[in-house]
A = this chain, B = another copy of it.
């Protein structure tokens, strides 16, 4: 057999295996498992996994099998504590757990029904899509996928179409410690930051969304771009005395305002809205969190008032246009949008808009990435690997390759051909360490990792191969000598 035939056979076998498992699963759903106490799932979750909103039983239909299986494991381990599910999960055998998970994963989720008031839904949508960075809350969709449809795999389940009552109860469980199965305490941290009003709003919003099956990225991107402004938007600032950019509700409804919205779209959905200039899989927002609003994450309102400025990197006075073009050349490994292109005008308009009221030429607190003290120990790639595997791989993949949903990157790759190149600022270990320390893991910046860990993991990440420096001349050695007189691994790894 040649390789293609082998591949097809494998797919057929795998599908057949899943189907068989699902059949076995159905039997358990209807009649229970082989051990005493493994009662039929249908009682609470329904034969099609629709659950029961009034009783707070979750919808299981269409959730990923590995996620469902991991939950059964959590009930067994006690990292999820419920009087009902713990004994059932313990009574199910390993293969029964797998079968029943596979079965429910294959059920078609029902159309959502909601009677939540529009104002609550709008508040929930805002939280889901943009977060509440002033209180350290990242957007839910960052981890739960476009339109809340989940990322696939054992973590980050779909929230779309889930009963609001269940979502509310689970957020409470994270808060109370009744559920501790979240990796690196991500959900506990978020749950503790949410107000009860926010919890109910975001649960209502996700309950109102259809649990989409496939190819929804484009749709959800459109939805994001059309997100209506809210009136209570706060600036991202754990730096509470810092600069407050204007709320999107203040963007005027005119030609200028439409250019600002386009700029935001390009900034957040660079892959879709500026595809011809993007040479990798990143979006501007990957390095400039919260739509370029977040303090200590190189916010646009911090950059706009500081240009034109001289930069040693290209040894000239750079306009803001030059600076943005630099981002596209290096961080985006692409080609710079021309100065008179609509994409550039839009990015300038969006940057300018975010800086409304900021004094020209004044470096605001929270600009750029904060200085990070030198580490006590020289950064170690080996220690960094452990930090990465324990904290970063969850989203960025075991090999730094990021994660895709429906074929498109959702979590950004940190190295390899789809990441920033050897000319980007982020390839400098000190820059990456500073960004990581202030902002990673998402929502836990400065809380989870020590300074030393930030340095170590930055070294680990930045030592990996990535696209060549576009200023490459003749050889890695020569390019290294000319352009890489800073804290980086270019000379060592730039030729890979």
Bound Cα distance from A316 to B346, whole angstroms: 11
For window 286-331 of A, CB contacts with B under 8 Å fall at 304-305, 307-310, 315-317, 319, 321-322
Residues of B within 8 A of A319 (CB): 321, 344-345, 348-349
For A304, A305, A308, A309, which residue has the most chain B Cβ atoms within 10 angstroms?
A308
For window 235-283 of A, CB contacts with B under 8 Å fall at 254-256, 259
Chain-B contact segment, one of A31-39, A352-360, A407-415:
A352-360
For window 375-395 of A, CB contacts with B under 8 Å fall at none
Copies of this chain present in the complex amount to 2
- Verify A310–B254 contact, CB threshold 8 A: yes
| A contact patch SS | mixed
Q: Which of B307, B310, B339, B344 meets A352, CB within 8 Å?
A: B307
Cβ distance A416 to chain B, nearest Cβ, rounded Å: 32
Residues of B within 8 A of A355 (CB): 360-361
- Verify A308–B349 contact, CB threshold 8 A: yes
Cβ distance A329 to chain B, nearest Cβ, rounded Å: 13
A362 in contact (CB, < 8 A): yes
Bound Cα distance from A254 to B317, whole angstroms: 10
A485 in contact (CB, < 8 A): no
In the complex with contacts A308-B259, A310-B256, A345-B361 CB distance below 8 A? no
- Verify A256–B309 contact, CB threshold 8 A: yes
- Verify A255–B310 contact, CB threshold 8 A: yes
Which residue on B lies nearest to A306, using beta carbons? Answer: B352
Cβ distance A262 to chain B, nearest Cβ, rounded Å: 9
Residues of B within 8 A of A353 (CB): 361
Residues of B within 8 A of A339 (CB): 321, 338-340
In the complex with contacts A255-B310, A317-B255, A360-B361 CB distance below 8 A? no
* 18 extra interface residue pairs, beta carbon distance < 8 Å, beyond A308-B348, A321-B321: A254-B310, A256-B308, A304-B360, A316-B345, A317-B345, A317-B349, A319-B321, A319-B344, A322-B345, A338-B339, A339-B340, A352-B360, A352-B361, A353-B361, A355-B361, A357-B362, A358-B360, A359-B359
In the assembled complex, 17 residue pairs joining A and B whose CB atoms fall closer than 8 Å, in A order, are: A255-B310, A255-B317, A256-B308, A256-B310, A256-B317, A259-B310, A307-B352, A308-B352, A319-B321, A319-B344, A319-B345, A319-B348, A321-B321, A353-B361, A355-B360, A357-B360, A357-B361
Q: Which 9 A-B pairs have the closest CB atoms?
A: A339-B339, A356-B361, A255-B310, A259-B317, A256-B310, A355-B360, A308-B349, A358-B360, A357-B359
